Chain A
Amino acid sequence: AQKVTQAQTEISVVEKEDVTLDCVYETRDTTYYLFWYKQPPSGELVFLIRRNSFDEQNEISGRYSWNFQKSTSSFNFTITASQVVDSAVYFCALFNQAGTALIFGKGTTLSVSS
């Protein structure tokens, strides 16, 4: 069975702190795709990044970076120098090999205070 675990339910930081959101996945598929989505207080779901199982390179986009490690089945997300606008619920998700279902973790609520 496929599963995504986000062990951190809530994280609170002060602005300018770095924060890492953990994501651990389970799958027997040899080909799979991992995603991160952001849900700000306004409620919409915003796509952040996609990573396929072939590519273990880390990725950096501005203050955001992602660390994908197949050996530990993890796809962690780091925000550097956090800002109040980063306050949101963050979801890690896994697409099954058939491509029919995106399986979500339960989400991590990040609160950044000024």
Chain B
Amino acid sequence: NAGVTQTPKFQVLKTGQSMTLQCAQDMNHEYMSWYRQDPGMGLRLIHYSVGAGITDQGEVPNGYNVSRSTTEDFPLRLLSAAPSQTSVYFCASRADSFYNSPLHFGNGTRLTVT
């Protein structure tokens, strides 16, 4: 059982480039989400999804796009990368039917925008 898988682990982009961070889970979880982690800021929610075809914004959605075409996958797109998007990105999922169930996190993607 792989859990939550994120790719790539590391990425360097130039300002203005676009890319997609991949996230896949094999636990049949309905809820999936993306967080970014910055020094001294903790983790902040970017976007989340409560099921296929349903997405919504979190605390810091600007500059990011998401879609949820399948239960398993929840990619995060950076449309035009900016240095302010240099961060560590975590994807997480949980079984939505269990409201108090903990989030399962992927191992993170470290993104640097130059």
Contacts and interface: CB of A to CB of B under 8 A. Distances in A.
Interface of A: 9, 33, 35, 43-45, 47, 50, 52, 91, 95, 99-107
B100 A50 contact: yes
Contacts, number: 52
B43 interface: yes
B107 A50 contact: no
B108 to A, nearest CB: 6
Contacts of B59: 101
A99 B59 CA distance: 14
Residue from B35, B42, B90, B108 having most chain A Cβ neighbours under 10 A:
B42
Given A101-B58, A104-B42, A45 B102 contact: no
Contacts of A9: 40
**Which bracket fits the contact residues of B?**
20 to 34
A100 B48 contact: yes
Interface string B37-62: 00011111100101000001011000
A47 B100 CA distance: 13
Contacts of B90: 45
B45 A43 contact: no
Nearest to A97: B99
Contacts of B56: 100
Contacts of A100: 31, 48, 50, 56
A5 to B, nearest CB: 10
Contact of A101 (B48, B99, B107): B48
A14 B33 CA distance: 37
Nearest to A4: B42
B73 interface: no
Contact of B45 (A44, A101, A106): A101
B74 interface: no
